[in-house]
Chain A
Amino acid sequence: MAKKVHVTTTVNGDEHEFLCETSQTLVDVLRGELELTGTKEGCSTGDCGACSVIFDGNLVCSCLVLAIEADGKSIETIEGMADGKELHPLQQKFLELNGLQCGICTPGILIAAKALLQRNPDPTETEIRFWLAGNLCRCTGYDKIIRSVLAAAAEMREG
């Protein structure tokens, strides 16, 4: 019954095309059709932030975006974060300061933190905690995540 729709979109600077059904979510297509499985799906209801991507410049939950909305838009996912083999300072600090354990929440948190630092290169600890309130982590207890973001921000400010 449901006919498929053709969508053209830009992901991490590369143009992609896919077919999707109207009710399919962006996270579904990113992972299923485009095989970009770095973006995780936890809750599918906007509560956990594991599916965070930057959609047309805005940090969003890709489980709450229809894939069809991506037509003509540009999307940034975790796969576009490192520059070739060189990790983004956020990724590097998460490794050094143990900002992750199982890693399920990590792509979403890195994307969310990247969006924060683009907006505010020098956030306070409180600002980071509020900004990341929509990203749940079951493992780390958050403290190491916050420290990693603070350290990455400091390094990025120094250039």
Chain B
Amino acid sequence: MAEEGYVAPHTVDEVVSLLVEAGGDARVMAGGTDVLVQLHADLIEPGLFVDIKNIPELRTIAAEAGGFRVGAAVTSMELVDHEAFNAAWPGVVEGVALIGSVQVQGRATMGGNLCNASPAADSVPPLIAAQAVAAIVGPGGPREVPVEDIITGPGQTSLDQGEILVSFLFPPRAPHSGDCYMRLTPRTEMDIAVVGAGINLTLDDAGTCVAARVALGAVAPTPLLVAQAADALIGSKVDDAAMAKLATAASSACHAISDKRGTKLYRIKTVGVIARRAAEKALERARKN
């Protein structure tokens, strides 16, 4: 077991060797907005904190292959302030901008939001809808995984011992594309999603939807990519009939539980409404570019 401590390495390789050496006793820390809450609630007791914020690769937003590569430890605030990324992926920015307060957003990262693996994580549905790919590095080398394959259950990910998430790759944007993330909460700020929906769609020149992805949050143990909901839009003019089908498909995909934030029935109903509203906004954006 490693001695109780804190390290802030400058390279991914150092992180991986530290994690391997510690054999499960170490905890990666990005913004710490989940980890430190868990530490002080005595939910975790790591022997070693490995702070990944000093690794330049994890802190960079860069154009790549016609799209963007965003480091796993880029903060919400840095994304909110990045004009080119906002223009391309406003829905992803809507997700990160809903994470906590301005204070939390100054520290919180998309990598942490994904790896904390909450069913209600706000940046995850728009990341899945965007078809973002997670770049992971571990003792076995690098691998790339679609974001929807990372979360396997509440608090559980498919990352192996010693692996870290390094960055997200966002694909190039076709003309007439738009995305949006919306969630339902009793308060507009500082609340956890009752349901959430991320929608990403592309139209052809005639306004027919040629591609769509729909991802739902807080309606199942993991965020869901719902192909039937996307199929409701693809091939349509995204008219009323298609929107109604989308809402029905979103509601049918809901495997929610009842808890203090909402009953199962409430979630089934409202996820359809929220998915539709998010699709309307995504459509409006797609028509503008």
With A58-B77, A65-B32, A66-B49 as contacts: A134 and B104 at CB distance below 8 Å: yes
Chain A binding surface SS class = mixed
How many B residues touch the partner, as a band? Answer: 20 to 34
Which residues of chain B are within 8 angstroms of A131 by Cβ–Cβ distance?
102
A59 partner residues in chain B, CB cutoff 8 A: 102-103, 106
A151 smallest CB distance to B (angstroms): 21
- Residues of chain B within 8 A of A44, CB atoms compared: 40
Cβ contacts under 8 Å, A135 to chain B: 101
Minimum CB–CB distance for A132 against chain B, Å: 8
Which of B41, B77, B101 has most chain A Cβ within 10 Å?
A: B101
**Are B5 and A22 within 8 A (Cβ)?**
yes
Roughly how many angstroms separate A81 CA and B188 CA in the complex, as a whole number? Answer: 30
Q: Does A1 contact B (CB under 8 A)?
A: yes
B37: chain A residues at CB < 8 Å are 45-46, 64
Known contacts A69-B51, A134-B189; A25/B36 CB under 8 A: yes
Q: What are 23 contact pairs spanning A and B, CB under 8 A? A: A1-B4, A3-B5, A22-B4, A22-B6, A23-B39, A25-B36, A44-B40, A45-B37, A52-B103, A58-B75, A58-B107, A61-B103, A61-B107, A64-B37, A64-B107, A65-B32, A65-B36, A66-B32, A133-B190, A134-B100, A134-B102, A134-B104, A134-B189
**A5 CA / B6 CA spacing, docked (Å):** 9
B228 at the interface (CB under 8 A from A): no
Given pairs A49-B103, A64-B107, 14 additional interface contacts (CB within 8 A): A1-B4, A3-B3, A5-B6, A44-B40, A46-B33, A46-B37, A46-B101, A59-B103, A63-B36, A65-B36, A65-B107, A112-B103, A133-B102, A134-B102
Partner of B40, one of A45, A49, A55, A61: A45
Residues of A contacting B33 in the complex (Cβ-Cβ under 8 angstroms) = 46, 64
A64 B36 Cβ-Cβ under 8 A: yes
Return A29 CB to nearest CB of chain B, in Å.
14
The interface centre, meaning the residue of B51, B100, B103 with most chain A CB atoms within 10 A of its CB, is B103
Residues of B within 8 A of A (CB): 3-6, 8, 29, 31-33, 36-37, 39-41, 49, 51, 75, 77, 100-104, 106-107, 188-190
* A36 contacts B by Cβ under 8 Å: no
Instruction: Knowing A22-B49, A23-B39, A59-B103 are in contact, say whether A130-B6 is a contact too (CB < 8 A).
Output: no
Nearest CB of B to A51, in Å: 9
Q: Is B104 a contact partner of A46 (Cβ separation < 8 A)?
A: yes
CB pair A64 B189 closer than 8 Å: no
- Residues of A within 8 Å of B107, CB to CB, are 58, 60-61, 64-65
What is the CA–CA distance of A1 and B45 in the complex, to the nearest angstrom? 14
Q: Which residues of A contact B4 (CB under 8 A)?
A: 1-3, 22-23
Q: What distance in Å separates the Cβ of B191 from its nearest Cβ neighbour in chain A?
A: 10
| Max chain A Cβ within 10 angstroms of own Cβ: one of B3, B39, B106 | B106
Task: Tell me the bound Cα distance from A3 to B29 in angstroms.
Answer: 20
Name the residue on B nearest A56 (C-beta).
Answer: B106
Residues of A with C-beta under 8 A to B100: 46, 134
Tell whether A68 is near chain B: CB-to-CB under 8 Å. yes
Q: How far is the CA of A49 from the CA of B188 in the complex (A)?
A: 17
